[in-house]
Amino acid sequence: MITLNKIIQAKRTISDFVTKTPFGYAPKLSRITGAEVFLKKENLQLTGAYKVRGAFNKIAHLSDEQKKSGVIAASAGNHAQGVAISARHFGVKATIVMPEAAPLLKISATKALGAEVILRGDNFDEAYAFAQNYAAENQMTFVHPFDDEFVQAGQGTIALEMLDEVADLDYIVVPVGGGGLASGVASCAKQINPNLKVIGVSAKGAPAMFESFKSGELHNSKSVRTIADGIAVRDTSSVTFSHLKECLDDMVLVDDEEVASGILYLLENQKIVVEGAGAVGIAALLEGKFAYEKGAKIGIVLSGGNIDMQMLNVIIEKGLIKSYRKMIIDVTLIDKPGSLMKLSQTLADAGANIVKIDYDRFSTKLNYGDAMIKITLETKGREHQEEVARTLRSGGYEFSVE
């Protein structure tokens, strides 16, 4: 494991630059789960994610010659920004290789911090391979996002801050991609309190570390696909795997639907915006992925908040439909004056608010003289949607619900 002394030293190194983020009690979450839940809000960190901790600690320890040659990193986004802002602080040239599908928000933010951005590969691992070759060809220092003790020690300072505020935590729940964050956090937690349980959470669409942890042997994935892009790592690191075998108590998986629900829950109930990777701990708690005692004190690391706005919009829209607050119906009408007005009045009688209408009278699927109306409604839950359906049926309307 990463020694506690290295993590304490990292805290001294980064303390004047990195934000000490809030570690706050979450009353609503505590009430519905029967635990005392505390949220470590690394979404409020510099650059919007925890990665700056490890990146700054690593670059701070480079020799003058290494700093002069510049640094390079591979990242899906958050490590990129951490390296960029840290390099700028030390006056070091930074080059970042990002997957071609990296969110525009993260690409733009990285460039704005003064780094050169190169887009290569379909995922982190392909970007990583290109960056390593580029580093060797140009005599640059490669700042690894997780396979580096300085980086891991920097990430471990999160656990120091959590335990400084709530010394008697029973559980820490932490996202796991490459394993650098979990290595640092779990190493720190176990050395301070061996009885504290650390639970790692991975995305179902990027299960390499989870499968390795469960089997006790290294496993890689053929491909990765998840909205939790910050932990979308294809291959397992032997370095971080050894730390997690030693320090983690368990690992669990969450799928994209569960991650999306976690994002929406935090947005609506905690007024917190997080990205996919930042929501996996909440998803694991809400979905009952791990067992805990009633009243247990649980600290959850919200690792970052750099979510693409288009992705957030999709999550909100799907979440509203899933929670029965939005209803999309297709209704067949006779195409004549007054038909749409009558349908609108029927929906108004059911208390449904129309937010969008699409009117199609030219579809080849329609009978002559008919029109298809796609209507999006605001509703107040499952029972209200059932009432809307009953009202339409009693009015003689043919319809389907999407």
Active-site residue list: 51, 303
Q: Quickly list H helices, 49-148.
A: 52-60, 64-69, 78-90, 104-112, 124-137
The token pair that represents 103 in the structure block = 């969110």
CB 96 within 8 A of CB 116: yes
Residue from 130, 257, 243 nearest 183 by CA:
243
What's the maximum distance between 2 C-alpha atoms anywhere in the chain?
80
CB 142 within 8 A of CB 72: yes
Tokens describing residue 82: 């951490």
Residue 43 tokens, joined: 């979404």
Q: Nearest to residue 329, comparing CAs of 315, 346, 312?
A: 346
* Type of residue numbered 392: L
- Look up residue 17 and give its two tokens: 């630059």
* Alpha carbon distance 40, 185 (integer Å): 12
Q: CA–CA separation, 230 vs 228, rounded Å?
A: 6
Give the separation between CA 347 and CA 353, rounded to whole angstroms: 8
Could you tell me the two tokens for 36? 């005392």
How far is CA 208 from its chain centroid?
Answer: 17
Distance CA 307, CA 305 (A): 6
Inter-residue contact 38 to 65 (CB < 8 Å): no
Query: Which amino acid appears at position 259 of this protein?
Result: V
**What is the CA 15 to chain-centroid distance, rounded?**
25
